[in-house]
Amino acid sequence: MKLIANCELRIANCFGWGMPGQYHWKLENPREITPIPYIGRLGIFEVPDDLVREVAA
């Protein structure tokens, strides 16, 4: 399963919708999941393996 199709940091607009100077993630085959209460953080961060398994099920 391929999830992240493209991720780039560009100066100009990316994919026709991105904001300049920010990372733009283009996903393939996204799927809806039930929200899980979790205290998030800015940026990319680690989550417990059991939570990942719950979301992937």
Q: What is the mean pLDDT of the chain?
A: 74
pLDDT tens digits along 11-35: 555 666 667 777 777 777 888 888 8
Total-model pTM: 0.44
What is the Cβ-side half-sphere exposure of residue 18, based on CA atoms within 13 angstroms? 17
Question: How is residue 20 written in tokens?
Answer: 């300049």
User: In the chain, where are the structural domains located?
Assistant: 4-56
What b/e sequence results for 32-48 when a residue is b if at least 16 CB atoms lie within 10 Å of its CB, and e otherwise? eeeeeeeeeeeeeeeee
Rounded to whole angstroms, the Cα distance separating 22 from 12 reads 9
